[in-house]
Amino acid sequence: MDGGGLRLNMNGLDYLILALYFVTVLGVGFAARRAIRTSVDFFLSGRSLPAWVTGLAFVSANLGALEIIGMAANGAQYGVMTVHYYWIGAVPAMVFLGIVMMPFYYGSKVRSVPEYLRLRFNRPTHLLNALSFAVAQVLIAGVNLYALALVMQALLGWPLWTAIVVGAAIVLAYITIGGLSGAIYNEVLQFFVILAGLIPVTVIGLVKVGGWNGLMDAVGDTKLGEAGLHAWQDTGSTANPLGAHWIGIVFGLGFVLSFGYWTTNFAEVQRALSAKNMSAARRTPIIAAYPKLFIPLVTVIPGLVALVTVKGLGAESGDLQYNNAIPLLMRDLLPNGVLGVAVTGLLASFMAGMAANVSGFNTVFTYDIWQAYIRRDRSDEYYLRVGRWATVAAVVIGIGTAFIAAGFSNIMNYIQALFSVFNAPLFATFIIGMFWKRMSALAGFWSLLLGTLVSLSLYLLYKGGVVDFNSDLEESFWGAGLAFVTAVVVAAIITPLTSPKRDEELRGLVYGMGGVDLKGDVLAGDAVWYRSPVLLGLIAVALAALFYIPVF
Amino acid sequence: MSNDGQPAQDPLIDEAQAEQRRSAAARLFDIRRVIGGLFVAYGIIVTLIGIFDSRAEIDKAEGVRINLWAGLAMLAFGLLMLLWQWLRPAEPPAPNEKQPGS
């Protein structure tokens, strides 16, 4: 690291704001402890939370700092096209999860996404998915931790290892003590703190460039040019900032990548499984879709403002990389006070992201690996203890991977990109399994395995220079798409050759087999029209479409 | 979607469901109190900083008294959270809501 040109001028009051946040987060962890007596209390909050809490936690779990810093960087680099990651690349999949898939997840009482695969298919499919999920989560937690440490080092001058250990210790404390309730409650808190940090930067940034119109004019004069102001124009070819054809955006990003991530990623789905009844579980991702619609306002706009106001932004290395768009604006525009809130917001987003990975890991490790394959038939208290130790192990391994990432930061980014491609075959296996009752257990296993191998091979061939794509993004569209098609074809070939599962075994897991009760546990207030998951979901999708109009 | 009967049974899931009789989840506190409290504290601190902001600090923020406005906004948000909790306290669990084994 050179010079410390990003160093913020934090004073005592800024640190007081940061310290208050740390104390509150730990306090939430300790206060959640008294609500834990069973393993389901620890791993799924006793399935007791209201929909607004699980919904905000759902969006917060995805609002890791990699997401915020990365999307602001994309805003500066690709312009308005970055909104595709939100409006077509997230909202439709979130609504689909709530309306179509959640009845099977929540209704079957499975405790995790891999557990659904065990009931629907067989144990090999389950183990394959549980292991790959567990490995991915600790690696991504390490990447998050390393990114946190880099920002703390650049902004506050903390040594790398201090930032890594402090960040890890706080997340460890509140999850080990407070379980998923500690994680989810803190995610709701973090959601608001992140917004409180990002809104002032956005507002002052807009004032500086002369409002929305001023920003539009100014972006036209940058290297991005007029093309940076449109989401769909020029997508008839790949001659646009993102280098993506509209078919790639709609099917690659909007369908395969997005549905793969949002509907099968247990770190997300776990938030909905902790809801208090079926209605709340279905509304969880849909309530989350509403903030998701508006988040580009506080990520993409600051990215564009940074592009306009920071001279030389977009350097290959050093302080002027795109990734520093938001930190640079904080340094240039925020006085002490809101500066402390903004730094706290960035820290909060790192913690939210890491906590989601760690709490997803400890549940899958305990229920899907330890209880299913290593030590069966122990008492519930035993698995509760295993869960706490799994949390400690996840954070310690996360610290380890963070130090590895420090040596190979590019490699770790590749690993993360790779796991995002793994979701596509998983989604294909899920969606066929949920709607085609004939699909056999063996077909499930081979679909998942071969689909994953296809995306892995294509990725390695691309990295090895054997196959050529315009950008990493284009590779991930193709990798995800091919993996999806492979999984579908494999299922279609193997199913007729193997024996189906009996109908009784599929109740509550497959569409049209019965056993799904959408109304059995509703509370009196849940029947009102404005709590209808279908209506709320359709409004969210309609808003996403409408939001495109001013930036077409 | 038809509505007849229970989903497929699994021993591991049934055990966990049976244990839920002992659940202590009802003892969980209300997060609105914590969010409200933290934002009221932030609001007061940042508003006070805003009142005493020097010319240099206001100029840095493009002439916007951002600390004052952000502080007042956070204070109002925190108070709204507390008011919401006060007006609509968490619903007590309905007596027949979670029957053992259901």
pLDDT in tens, chain A (552 residues): 334 578 888 889 999 999 999 999 999 999 999 889 899 999 999 899 999 999 999 999 988 777 888 889 889 888 898 899 999 989 999 999 999 999 999 988 899 999 999 999 999 999 999 998 998 888 888 888 888 888 888 888 888 888 888 889 999 999 999 999 999 999 999 999 999 999 999 999 999 999 899 998 888 888 888 888 888 888 887 778 877 788 888 888 888 888 988 999 999 999 999 999 999 999 999 999 999 999 999 999 999 999 999 888 877 777 788 888 898 999 999 999 999 999 999 888 888 888 999 999 999 999 999 999 999 889 989 999 999 999 999 999 999 888 887 776 565 566 666 666 778 889 999 999 999 999 999 999 999 999 999 988 988 888 888 888 777 777 777 888 889 999 999 999 999 999 888 888 888 899 888 777 777 677 767 778 888 899 999 999 999 999 998 888
Q: Which residues in chain B are contacts of A200 at CB distance < 8 A?
A: 66, 70
Q: Decide if pLDDT at B96 tops 60.
A: no
DSSP A88-106: TTTHHHHHHIIIIIHHHHH
Residues of chain A positioned with their CB less than 8 A from the CB of B79: none
Q: A49 - beta bridge partners?
A: A275
Q: State the nearest Cα–Cα gap between A235 and chain B, in angstroms.
A: 37
Identify the closest residue of chain B to A373 by CA–CA distance. B12
Report DSSP letters for A36-99, one per residue: --SHHHHHHGGG-B-HHHHHHHHHHHT--HHHHHHHHHHHHHHGGGGGHHHHTTTHHHHHHIII
Task: Using alpha carbons, list the distances in angstroms from residue A134 to A113, A355, A376, A385.
Answer: 12, 14, 19, 18
Residue B97 has pLDDT above 90, yes or no: no
**Cβ count near B2 (within 10 Å):** 10
Alpha carbons A263 and B23: distance in angstroms, whole number: 28
How are the residues of chain A apportioned to helix, strand and coil, as percentages rounded to the nearest 5? 80, 0, 20
| Chain B residues in contact with A34 (beta carbon < 8 A) | 24, 27
Do B97 and A119 make contact, defined as CB atoms within 8 angstroms?
A: no
pLDDT of residue A294: 95
What pLDDT does A2 receive? 38
- Amino acid A248: pLDDT: 80
CB pairs under 8 A between A and B: 195
Please tell me the distance in Å from A514's CA to the nearest CA on chain B.
Answer: 5
pLDDT at residue number A524 = 67
Q: For residue A408, what pLDDT is reported?
A: 66
**Interface contact A24-B3, CB threshold 8 A:** no
Residues of chain B contacting residue A336, judged by C-beta atoms under 8 Å apart: 49, 57
Contact predicate A268/A356, CB 8 Å: yes
Partner residue facing B24 (CB), from A36, A189, A506: A36
The answer to whether B7 contacts A509, with C-beta atoms less than 8 Å apart, is yes
Interface contact A338-B70, CB threshold 8 A: yes
Q: Which residue of A has its CA nearest to B51?
A: A337
Q: How far is B62 from chain A (nearest CA, A)?
A: 6
Type of residue numbered B95: P
Give me the pLDDT at residue A4, please: 54
User: pTM (2 decimals)?
Assistant: 0.91
Instruction: Please say whether the beta carbons of A50 and A278 come within 8 A.
Output: no
Q: CB neighbours (10 Å) of residue A409? A: 13
Q: Half-sphere exposure of residue A65, counting CA atoms within 13 Å on the CB side?
A: 32
How far is residue B36's CA from residue B20's CA, in Å, rounded to a whole number?
A: 31
**How far away is chain A from the Cα of B83, in angstroms, using its nearest Cα?**
17
pLDDT reported for residue B24: 83
Give B20's contacts (C-beta < 8 A, 6+ positions apart).
A38, A40, A46, A47, B98, B100
DSSP type of residue A4: T
Pairwise CA distance, residues A203 & A222, whole Å: 21
The predicted pLDDT at position A49 comes to: 92
Nearest Cα residue in chain A from B16: A40
What's the confidence (pLDDT) of residue A286? Answer: 96
Chain A residues closer than 8 Å to B77 by CB: 192
Q: Give B-chain residues touching A273 at CB under 8 angstroms.
A: none
Cβ neighbours of residue A36 closer than 8 Å, sequence gap 6 or more: A42, A178, A179, A181, A384, B24
Inspect the interface and report whether the beta carbons of B16 and A511 lie closer than 8 Å.
no
User: Which of B4, B23, B28, B102 to mutate to probe the A interface, most A CBs <10 Å?
Assistant: B28
Assess whether pLDDT exceeds 80 at residue B98: no
pLDDT tens per residue, range B18-65: 877 788 888 888 999 999 999 999 999 999 999 988 888 888 888 889
